[in-house]
Chains A and B, each alone.
Chain A
């Protein structure tokens, strides 16, 4: 089955700096890669996603890159703000229908003011 590895487990940056979180996946059939932000006690919130036919996607301060050959994808947050502090999860699945989503272990991001 699919296995998703995520690094680092903890990331501390200064406000205004960039943050990068990296993930690798094992199942070459996976073609949908969402990123979630989760605040304590709440549901995961989708912040950006990418499908396998695209190598990069950007939404304001957030971007995701995908390297299908190497089976890794990364989240980039620029101009970080204290409110970006949260736990971020990468995930992988085969489409978004009846196929299950497997999550990475999570990265706890601290943005220091």
Chain B
């Protein structure tokens, strides 16, 4: 089946720094990718839709200047959490559509 990877799998950073998370479709092309955030014991909340060649579409309540999304190619989307704060600590998961949604393994972010 289709494979989506994410890097890094976990990251610890200091408050105020920026963190970049990569999402790659390994064996297929994805003009669209999705970014989710999941807090402990909660559901996956869609943050934004990443579109290759155009601007990302953000869900209501998600700050586009804080969560920068770049869909650099047909196999790569990146999410940059700028000026991270402890409340941004979460599990970030990307997905790419095909016959179903193919999820990356997730990135656990801890902001100290």
Which residues from chain A sit less than 8 Å from chain B, CB to CB? 34, 41-44, 46, 49, 89, 93, 96-106
Q: A98-B49, A100-B46 are in contact. Are A42 and B97 (CB under 8 A)?
A: no
B108–A101 CB distance below 8 A: no
Interface residues on B, range: 20 to 34
Count of A-B residue pairs with CB < 8 Å:
51
- Chain A residues, CB < 8 A from B89: none
For residues 48 through 104 of chain B, which have their beta carbon under 8 Å from a beta carbon of chain A?
Answer: 49, 51, 91, 93, 95, 97-101, 103-104
In the complex, 29 of the A-B residue pairs with CB atoms within 8 angstroms, ordered by the A residue number, are A34-B101, A41-B106, A41-B108, A42-B105, A43-B93, A43-B103, A43-B106, A44-B93, A44-B103, A46-B100, A49-B100, A93-B101, A96-B97, A96-B99, A96-B101, A97-B32, A97-B97, A98-B31, A98-B49, A98-B51, A100-B49, A101-B34, A101-B101, A103-B44, A103-B46, A104-B43, A105-B42, A105-B43, A106-B42
In the assembled complex, how far is the CB of residue A92 from the closest CB belonging to chain B, in whole angstroms? 12
CB-nearest residue of chain B relative to A101? B101
Distance, CA A96 to CA B101, complexed state (A): 7
Q: Is the interface of A mostly helix, strand, loop or mixed?
A: loop
Q: Is the interface of B mostly helix, strand, loop or mixed?
A: strand
Looking at A34, A44, A46, A93, which has the most chain B CB atoms within 10 Å of its CB?
A44
Distance, CA A49 to CA B103, complexed state (A): 15
- Chain A residues, CB < 8 A from B44: 44, 89, 103
B104–A43 CB distance below 8 A: yes
Option from A96, A102, A105 in Cβ contact (under 8 Å) with B100: A96
With A96-B101, A99-B97 known, 14 other A-B pairs at CB within 8 A are A46-B101, A93-B101, A98-B51, A100-B34, A101-B34, A101-B46, A101-B95, A101-B101, A102-B46, A103-B43, A103-B46, A104-B43, A105-B43, A106-B43
